[in-house]
Amino acid sequence: MTSSPDPAAPPTPSELPALQGGDGTRVRYRRWLPTGDVRATLQVVHGASEHSGRYERLGTALAGRGYAVYAMDLRGHGHTAESTGVGRFGGGAGVQSVLDDVLALQLLAHDEQPGVPRLLLGHSMGSIIALVSAERDGAGLAGLALSGPVGVAPQLADQVTGLEAAVAAGMGDQALDALGAFNVPFEPARTPFDWLSRDEAEVDAYIADPLAGDEVPLTYAYAAGVFGAAVTGPGTEGLAQLPDGLPVLLLSGSRDPVGGEDSGQVTALADRLTGRGLPVEQHVYPDARHEVFNETNRDDVVADLLTWLDARTAG
């Protein structure tokens, strides 16, 4: 991939810089840069049915501490969907094309900020992508952080089989409701997205965002590809591909339905990573829900992230 020319002024959404893929996809991205020295680069991979712009507050906070933060709108999402179609991979090779995009943005960040450590952070669906990216292309990473991760979820295997059958039957480009069931533990609920956060203002902002929520569903083909990676990524063969000694940070809420009851699926992933011989730090925030960076205790979460990042970049 090559980068398009970068505008001199901070871009408006329609002017976001883009990575140009070999399949013609224009992958839009944002960056938050320090005003002084750069300690490290951190790439953020967002979740399903959202976009990189939702990480403005986090990116700004981290840039204020010396981190150059890069985040793309994944294929099928945000302004990249103008090139691929909503909830679709576009002309690329499924999940592998997304991993190619992640690597391309890492290389761009490395070229723009040479000689500093590289770190990767994935949230929710982005945690699936970040994990398998680290397995495929993780050489040289100084650390991997996963927020609101799925963890070890063997029950997804049957769902993936069903999704693949639907794709084979010609439903690949049809929209799928992949998020609706997560709100069940919070019924009767104020909104269909109470599972995201205890902060009502954050939930309302998500609902009001035209590039998030029900307006940007995944397709059956997209879900089959990503959830398939959620099954294989935490497996023994997948984890064996992670670089030796790679530090991993796991952040989740105890009431996040994505990570299982009391983050049980996340703890299972922590155990597997520890068994793989990797240094793992896990934080489970009591009563917090899925989007820990948008939760009522978000300042504590960001502080924990920064402490971990600083330790990875010290010296």
Where are the chain's structural domains? 2-155+229-313
Residues of the chain with pLDDT under 50: 1-10
The fold of the 2-155+229-313 domain, in CATH, is Rossmann fold (3.40.50)
Comparing C-alpha atoms, which of 159, 189, 147, 153 is closest to residue 290? Answer: 147
- As given in the structure block, the two tokens for residue 264 are 């049980």
Q: How far is CA 224 from CA 36, 94, 123, 266, in A?
A: 43, 10, 18, 21
- As given in the structure block, the two tokens for residue 296 are 């009522």
Q: How far is CA 145 from CA 47, 61, 142, 187, 291, in A?
A: 14, 16, 10, 31, 14
Residue 121 CA to its chain's centroid (Å)? 7
Q: 188: cis peptide before it, omega within 30°?
A: yes
pLDDT of residue 6: 40
CA distance 235 to 154: 10
pLDDT of residue 120: 98
Task: Judge whether 102 and 109 are in contact, CB under 8 Å.
Answer: no
- As given in the structure block, the two tokens for residue 89 are 């991979």
The amino acid at residue 168 is A
Q: Which letter does DSSP use for residue 11 in this model?
A: P
- Partner residues linked to 176 by β-bridges: 218
Output the pTM of the full model: 0.95
